[in-house]
Structure 1
Amino acid sequence: MLLTSIDPFVQEVERQFDRLARSAFTGSEGGRGVMPLDGVRRKDEVLLRFDLPGVDPDGIEITIDRGVLSVTAGREEELGEDDRVFVRERLMGQFTRRVYLPEHLDSERIEADYANGVLTLRIPVVEKAKPRKVEVRGASEHKAIKA
């Protein structure tokens, strides 16, 4: 018999990040540009950081529907009549990134901050999913059951 230490939460998050990372190499997800994402698990929360340089914070929309977190943002560039683009490497337009939130996260208490072009979401871990200690009692603490 093989015993392993498995954290289902970490496995699910890694699986989702791997899937999204694969789509990032193609430059699109669903035909749109992808916003880079980092995820960090802390003791009591998960941090998701999205790179959104040049995006107006008022134009960022965060929604949760049936366990799927969606971040939508846009970046537009106004060009003058005489302006001619000769290099276009920065993606423009509307971008959406979706992340599956495992049931171990409290989607009702998400906090969002935007600073220096980075959107940071703090998602608390639900109380029942947090690590806890189990008390070990000695044999003398058990009461005998008479049958």
Structure 2
Amino acid sequence: MATYWDPFQEMDRLFGSFPLTARNVSAMPMDLFREDDHFVLAADLPGIDPGSIDVSVEDRTLTVRAERTGRSGEGQWLLRERPAGTVARQITLGRGLALDHISASYADGVLTLTIPVAEEAKPRRIEVSHRSEPHTIEAGG
């Protein structure tokens, strides 16, 4: 029996039970997709100081944290929709990922994480051996 394996299924189940609000999504919207033997997580972090970005994994929890500095100085705010301060997201990762080989890059306001599938979790073909010679059983007496 063949089954489709998705290491992010637990995350979907967890997040499916919580309503998403504009507040918690707008601070760090993310896309997550699979390409061949790895997953790609892209998080929008415009206006973030690249030196403030912290990505960590503890057990199976991936944490992305960054600091957006607010505008300081004189003046009267008329509209303020761009949040300042620390933004953070945590994602519970499924089994079968190579957590020690996650790579990260930041360009044009987008943080991109590449999360490879572990070797032992990759599908592989198993060869079946067979005999080409006929097998005979001798009756003895």
Pick the TM interval, shorter chain: 0.7 to 0.9
Write the letter of the residue equivalent to 2:23: G
Alpha-carbon distance between aligned partners in 1 of 2:64 and 2:55, rounded to the nearest angstrom: 5
Aligned partner of 1:114 among 106, 129, 135: 106
Equivalent positions of 1:63-82 (< 5 A) are 63-81=56-74
- The CA distance in 2 between the partners of 1:119 and 1:143, in whole Å, is 62
Q: CA distance change for structure 1 residues 142 and 59 in 2, over 3 Å: closer, same or farther?
A: farther
Q: Tell me the residue number matched to 2:115.
A: 123
SS in 2 for 1:95: strand
The answer as to 2:8 corresponding to 1:16 is no
Residue in 1 that maps onto 2:139: none
Is residue 39 of structure 2 the alignment partner of residue 42 of structure 1? no
Q: Secondary structure at the match of 1:91?
A: coil
- In terms of fraction of residues, the more helix-rich structure is 1
Match of 1:113, SS?
Answer: strand
Q: TM-score, normalised by structure 1?
A: 0.78
Alpha-carbon contact 1:24-1:34 (below 8 Å) kept: no
Number of residues of Structure 1 aligned to a counterpart in Structure 2 = 135
Q: Note the C-alpha offset of 1:100.
A: 1.1
RMSD of aligned alpha carbons = 2.7
Shift of residue 17, structure 1, vs aligned partner? 4.2
- Counterpart of 2:4, as a letter, is D
Q: How far does residue 80 in structure 1 lie from its aligned partner after superposition?
A: 1.4
**Which residue matches 1:102?**
94
Structure 2 residue identity aligned to 1:6: T
Checking the alignment, whether the CA contact within 8 Å between 2:9 and 2:94 is kept in structure 1 is: no
TM-score w.r.t. the length of structure 2 is: 0.81
Residues 101/26 of structure 1: CA separation in 2 closer, same or farther (3 Å cut): same
The alignment-based identity, stated in percent, is: 35
Alignment match of 2:4 (pick from 2, 7, 14): 7
Residue segments in structure 1 that go unaligned for 5+ positions in a row: none
